[in-house]
Amino acid sequence: MELFVQQLINGLTIGTIYALIALGYTMVYGIIQLINFAHGEVFMVGAYIGLTAITFFGFVSGSTLPMAMLYLAVMLLISMAGSGLLGIVIDQIAYRPIRNSPRLVALISAIGVSFVLQNAVMLIYGPQDQGVPQIVPDIHFIFGDVTITLMQIMILAVSLVLMVFLNFLVQHTQLGRAMRATSQDHKMARLVGINVNWIISLTFFIGSAMAAVGGVLFGLYYHTVNFHDGYLAGLKAFTAAVLGGIGNIPGAMVGGVLIGLAEGLGAGYISSEWKNVFAFVILVLILLFKPTGLFGERVADRA
Amino acid sequence: MLKLENVKAGYGSIEVLHGISLEVSEGEIVTVIGANGAGKTTTLSAISGLIPLRGGKIVTLGICQVPEGRRIFSRLTVHENLKLGAFRVRDKKKCAQTYETLLDFFPILRERLNQPAGLLSGGEQQMLAIARGLMSQPKMLLLDEPSLGLAPKLVASIFDYLVKINRSGMTILLVEQNARLALEVASRAYVIETGNILMKGPAQELLHSDKVKKAYLGE
Ligand SMILES: Nc1ncnc2c1ncn2[C@@H]1O[C@H](COP(=O)(O)OP(=O)(O)OP(=O)(O)O)[C@@H](O)[C@H]1O
Ligand SMILES: [Mg+2]
Model confidence band, residue A297 (pLDDT cutoffs 50, 70, 90): low
Reference A22, options A284, A238, A246, A170; nearest CA is A238
Model confidence band, residue A86 (pLDDT cutoffs 50, 70, 90): very high
Domain match, B146 and B124 both: no
Nearest-ligand number for the alpha carbon of B34: 1
Distances A229 to A91, A124, A225, A274, A291 between C-alpha atoms, Å: 22, 16, 7, 17, 27
Q: Which residues of chain A make contact with B74, given a CB cutoff of 8 A? A: 184, 301
Model confidence band, residue A273 (pLDDT cutoffs 50, 70, 90): confident
Domain match, B122 and B53 both: no
Take atom 24 of ligand 1 and give the residue whose Cα is closest.
B36
- Tell whether ligand 1 has an atom less than 6 A from the beta carbon of residue B11: yes
Q: Which residues of chain A make contact with B71, given a CB cutoff of 8 A? A: 185, 187-188, 191, 303
Measure in Å the smallest separation between the Cα of B42 and chain A Cα atoms: 14
Domain match, B79 and B153 both: no
Establish if A170 touches chain B: CB-CB under 8 angstroms.
no
- Cβ separation of B73 and A174 shorter than 8 Å? no
Euclidean distance between CA atoms A26 and A252, whole angstroms? 7
Domain match, B146 and B57 both: yes
pLDDT at A58: 82
Measure in Å the smallest separation between the Cα of B131 and chain A Cα atoms: 12
Q: Which of B50, B74, B85 sits opposite A184 (nearest CB)?
A: B74
Measure in Å the smallest separation between the Cα of A295 and chain B Cα atoms: 14
- Cβ separation of B84 and A194 shorter than 8 Å? yes
CA angle A242, A248, A251 (to 5 degrees): 65
pLDDT string in tens for chain B (219-residue length): 899 999 999 999 999 999 999 999 999 999 999 999 999 999 999 999 989 999 999 999 999 999 999 999 999 999 999 999 999 999 999 999 999 999 999 999 999 999 999 999 999 999 999 999 999 999 999 999 999 999 999 999 999 999 999 999 999 999 999 999 999 999 999 999 999 999 999 999 999 998 888 888 877
Establish if A177 touches chain B: CB-CB under 8 angstroms.
yes
Atom of ligand 1 nearest to the CA of B195: 14
**Predicted confidence (pLDDT) per residue in A68-80, tens digit:** 889 999 999 999 9
Ligand 1: centre distance to CA A187 (Å)? 15
Alpha helices in chain A (DSSP H): 2-32, 39-56, 65-90, 103-125, 150-172, 174-184, 186-191, 196-222, 229-244, 249-269, 277-289
Instruction: Classify B74 as helix, strand or coil.
Output: coil
Reference A37, options A295, A245, A276, A241; nearest CA is A241
- Tell whether ligand 1 has an atom less than 6 A from the beta carbon of residue B37: yes
Q: What is the CATH number of the domain that holds B201?
A: 3.40.50.300
- Cβ separation of A188 and B73 shorter than 8 Å? yes
Measure in Å the smallest separation between the Cα of A248 and chain B Cα atoms: 12
State the maximum Cα–Cα separation within chain B, in Å, rounded to a whole number.
Answer: 51
Q: Which residues contact A269 (CB under 8 A, 6 or more apart)?
A: A3, A7
Per-residue pLDDT, averaged over A39-68, amounts to 89
Take atom 22 of ligand 1 and give the residue whose Cα is closest.
B41
Q: Are A68 and A131 in contact (CB under 8 A)?
A: no
pLDDT > 80? residue A212: yes
pLDDT at A299: 44
Please state the ipTM of this predicted complex: 0.90
Domain match, B39 and B99 both: no
Q: Are B185 and B174 in contact (CB under 8 A)?
A: yes
Domain match, B130 and B155 both: no
Nearest-ligand number for the alpha carbon of B42: 1
pLDDT at A302: 35
Q: How many CB pairs under 8 A join A and B?
A: 51
What percent of chain A lies above the pLDDT cut of 90?
Answer: 78
Euclidean distance between CA atoms A147 and B174, whole angstroms? 70
Neighbours of B88 (CB within 10 A): 12
Domain count of the fold of chain B: 2
Reference A136, options A66, A77, A213; nearest CA is A66
Q: In this structure, which amino acid lies at residue B155?
A: V
pLDDT at B218: 79
Take atom 19 of ligand 1 and give the residue whose Cα is closest.
B37
Take atom 1 of ligand 1 and give the residue whose Cα is closest.
B11
Q: Which residues of chain B make contact with A184, given a CB cutoff of 8 A? A: 73-76
Nearest-ligand number for the alpha carbon of B32: 1
The pTM score is 0.91
Instruction: Classify A248 as helix, strand or coil.
Output: coil
Rounded to 5 degrees, φ, ψ at B31 are: -115, 145
Measure in Å the smallest separation between the Cα of B214 and chain A Cα atoms: 35
Per-residue pLDDT, averaged over A112-129, amounts to 96
- Cβ separation of A184 and B50 shorter than 8 Å? no
Euclidean distance between CA atoms A246 and B56, whole angstroms? 45
Domain match, B58 and B143 both: yes
Where is the domain boundary, B111, B136, B161? Answer: B136
Bridge-based pairing of strands B171-176 and B14-24 is unpaired
Q: What is the rounded average pLDDT for all residues in chain A?
A: 92
Euclidean distance between CA atoms B215 and B122, whole angstroms? 28
pLDDT at B160: 95
pLDDT at B214: 87
Domain match, B212 and B123 both: no
Q: Are A297 and A248 in contact (CB under 8 A)?
A: yes
- Tell whether ligand 1 has an atom less than 6 A from the beta carbon of residue B32: no
Rounded to 5 degrees, φ, ψ at B142 are: -105, 120
Domains in chain A, please, with CATH?
Answer: 2-289 (1.10.3470)
Where is the domain boundary, B136, B157, B188? Answer: B136
- Tell whether ligand 1 has an atom less than 6 A from the beta carbon of residue B177: yes
Alpha helices in B15-88 (DSSP H): 40-48, 78-85
Where is the domain boundary, B117, B136, B155? Answer: B136
Domain that holds residue B44: 1-62+139-219
Domain match, B209 and B155 both: yes
Q: Are B160 and B110 in contact (CB under 8 A)?
A: no
Domain match, B218 and B144 both: yes
Domain match, B173 and B186 both: yes
Domain match, B100 and B76 both: yes
pLDDT > 90? residue A274: no
Ligand 1: centre distance to CA B152 (Å)? 25
